[in-house]
Amino acid sequence: MKSIFEQLGGACHEENGNLIPDLRLPTEEEQPIGKWGQRHLDYLKQHRKVTYTNLLTSGRLGVYLVDIDRQAQECFERLIEGMKQAQGITERLKEENALEWVGRMNNVRMCAKEIVNEKIIYI
């Protein structure tokens, strides 16, 4: 006689006289996940465990993280360009005073990183 699980299409195997369901996560194509996606993954695991588990068990976690990574990188690049223009950070400044340019660019990158973290990664 088939178990209810088997009647619904699931497969079982027997161990020590007990029927054990054969549970497997859906297969998902491996995709490289960048630094933003990795940060968001860590955040999900620590602070959004239900969301993490739902994405993992549905087989959509990798696609989701790749999309978050892409969105975050695009936002980061747009923010940097906008801040550079607003603050007058140019290639000419880089040629004339490389040290000042590096300092100002580091500040712009840190500000952009904080915004991306707040708006995309840690939500």
Residue 25 is predicted with a pLDDT of: 60
Q: pTM of the full predicted structure?
A: 0.76
Structure tokens given for 118 = 């707040």
Residue 59 is predicted with a pLDDT of: 87
- Determine the Cα–Cα distance for residues 33 and 87; give it in Å rounded to an integer: 32
* Averages of pLDDT over each 10 residues, the chain, 123 residues: 67 81 69 95 97 92 96 98 97 96 98 98 95
Residue 92 is predicted with a pLDDT of: 97
Between the alpha carbon of residue 62 and those of residues 67, 70, 77, the distances in Å are 9, 12, 23
